[in-house]
Amino acid sequence: MNKETNIFLFGFSIRQALIILLIVTFFLRFFRISYPTTFVFDEVYHGFTAVQYSLGSKEAWEWWTTPPKGVAFEWTHPPLAKEIMASSLVLFRTEEPWGWRIPGALLGTICVYLVFLLGKMIFKNESVGLFSSFAFAFDGLNFVQSRTGMNDIYLVTFILASLVLFLRKKFVLSAILFGFALASKWAAIYLLGVYGVLLILDLKNFWKIIYFLIFPISVYLFSYLPFFWLGHTFDQFLELQRQMWYYHTHLKASHDYASPWWSWPFNLAPVWFHVDYYKDAMANIFTSGNPLLFWSGFVSMIFLIKGFILSKKGQIIYLVLTALTFTIFAGILVTHPQIIYYLNLNDPKESVQVVSSKKLSSLLTYLLLAWGVISGLLALFFTLKQGAHHQFLIIAGYFAFLLPWSVSPRIMFLYHYSACVPFMAIALGYFLAHWYKKQKDMVIVFCLMILVSFFWVYPFLTGLPLPKNLISLFFGTNLTKNPF
């Protein structure tokens, strides 16, 4: 393994640079974490429920209970993230927002170190790890989620920790951390597919897939111990899981800041979390990606895919490209079903929707998605048999947490992209480390541009008051509806 512990930049070694990065990361995530002193966005669910957990409320676990006005009990996700928030509230003997935000800020800092470890382990290069962690540290999306009492940063942290342990072949611990992720948010289940493929390719360890079935289920059940301790039955537990599934598959809602999954890599629709009005200024919190990081990171993913294919002499390129193309097309269809209309040719004066556009688009969506999945699996199988596992892990991790949203029937937001960002950051880190050897000055300038891009939107990530005539600056880098 290339340890590259020599002088890296401005007299600092990679290890020293990493320590400085982690200190800065910690400071940025904890600075003004008590602001605002009210609920932010979905904290009316997660934060409120964490407070109720800390008070031992039985009703907080019940989907049929009517909550107080303006808040709601959060039972639509597994409880672990809220239980950790509640533990923090108990530890610090408070019910204030900073109490339930502290664990997320700490995990957000740990995430930066985990990204370093992943980049270093996957590419066997500490420079890749450092550039990857730098890019991730200044991502606005996970930055805001780590300062907000929601479950996304818990999902991301436990996924990354599980991956690090998996690569170290500590399969039991990896499975337990996978269980932590699953007990925070169901979206973690997609990681099981990645592990399945990797273990298939390592037949001597394939039987250990059983770890990733037994331990996560055990952890998931363990996270509901307070539910049972407060007097609920196992039948009520099963009904709760059914209610959760029904909620996520039948939720009919609209929101000004909702966005389709294919728009997330381009940071087109940041979500407005909070606003405070002052005499001559305003303070806003948006959950938004770093524009430069998102755009360059997505391009890096494309080039990583290209290298993944061409390194094997272009085998089954057709299958891979059609898999990606059809899957993206399917996602566009499912989010914009109104584009499919038919004209009644017998009466050209009238436009008639002869076939239900929604039903037709759904049919085409599932047909195209099926073709995409099958051809994509074939492409991965034949290519993986000849190596390039490191590229596969980054690509598979990224798309495992993106593509399933293409068939999701529920309302979606940019923060659902949070779990994809670490893989995108590692892809970018790989190319930055490669270019650093040849174009050191260019890479330094690019990293400075990432910093500028982050601090350009920083006031809108943290709620720093700005004069009203500067508010429009934020909307020059995305298509989010301008509320001002």
> pLDDT digits over 456-468, tens only?
889 999 999 988 7
> pLDDT digits over 424-435, tens only?
999 999 999 989
pTM exceeds 0.95 for this model: no
Asked if pLDDT for residue 446 goes beyond 70, the answer is: yes
Per-residue confidence band for 106, with pLDDT thresholds at 50, 70 and 90? very high
Asked if pLDDT for residue 267 goes beyond 50, the answer is: yes
pLDDT for residue 343: 33
> pLDDT digits over 374-393, tens only?
555 555 555 555 555 667 78
User: Which two three-digit tokens encode residue 438?
Assistant: 């040849």
Per-residue confidence band for 407, with pLDDT thresholds at 50, 70 and 90? confident
Distances in whole angstroms, Cα of residue 250 to Cα of each of 35, 91, 242: 34, 38, 12
Query: Tokens 């049972």 identify what position?
Result: 228
pLDDT for residue 310: 61
Interior angle at CA 338, CA 246 and CA 409, nearest 5: 15
More confident: 449 or 321? 449
Q: Beta strand pairing status for 466-467 and 281-287?
A: antiparallel
Asked if pLDDT for residue 322 goes beyond 60, the answer is: no
Q: Which of 209-218, 235-244, 317-326, 393-402 has the lowest mean pLDDT?
A: 317-326
Q: Cβ neighbours of residue 23 under 8 Å, at least 6 residues apart?
A: none
> pLDDT digits over 337-346, tens only?
443 333 333 3
> pLDDT digits over 292-317, tens only?
999 999 989 888 877 666 655 444 44
Distance of alpha carbon 286 from alpha carbon 372, whole angstroms: 34
User: Which two three-digit tokens encode residue 37?
Assistant: 């002193």
pLDDT for residue 439: 86
Asked if pLDDT for residue 366 goes beyond 70, the answer is: no
Distance of alpha carbon 182 from alpha carbon 220, whole angstroms: 7
Per-residue confidence band for 336, with pLDDT thresholds at 50, 70 and 90? very low
Q: Beta strand pairing status for 12-13 and 271-277?
A: unpaired
Query: What φ, ψ does residue 281 adopt, rounded to 5°?
Result: -150, 170
> pLDDT digits over 218-229, tens only?
999 999 999 999
Per-residue confidence band for 373, with pLDDT thresholds at 50, 70 and 90? low
pLDDT for residue 392: 78
pLDDT for residue 280: 81
Q: What mean pLDDT is reported for the chain?
A: 83
For the chain, give every domain's residue range.
Answer: 7-311+388-476
Q: Average pLDDT in the 407-412 region?
A: 85
Per-residue confidence band for 23, with pLDDT thresholds at 50, 70 and 90? very high
Asked if pLDDT for residue 356 goes beyond 50, the answer is: no
3-state secondary structure the chain: CECCCCEEECCEEHHHHHHHHHHHHHHHHHCCCCCCCCCCHHHHCHHHHHHHHHCCCCHHHCCCCCCCCCCCCCCCCCCHHHHHHHHHHHHHCCCCHHHHHHHHHHHHHHHHHHHHHHHHHHHCEHHHHHHHHHHHHCCHHHHHHHCCCCCHHHHHHHHHHHHHHHHCCCHHHHHHHHHHHHCCCHHHHHHHHHHHHHHHCCHHHHHHHHHHHHHHHHHHHHCCHHHHHCCCCHHHHHHHHHHHHHHHHHCCCCCCCCCCHHHHHHCCCCEEEEEEECCCEEEEEEECCCHHHHHHHHHHHHHHHHHHHHCCCCCCHHHHHHHHHHHHHHHHHHHCHHHCCCCCCCCCCCCCCCCCHHHHHHHHHHHHHHHHHHHHHHHHHHHHCCCCHHHHHHHHHHHHCCHHHHHCCCCCCHHHHHHHHHHHHHHHHHHHHHHHCCCHHHHHHHHHHHHHHHHHHHHHHHCCCEEHHHHHHHHHCCCCCCCC
> pLDDT digits over 179-217, tens only?
999 999 999 999 998 888 778 766 677 778 899 999 999
pLDDT for residue 8: 62
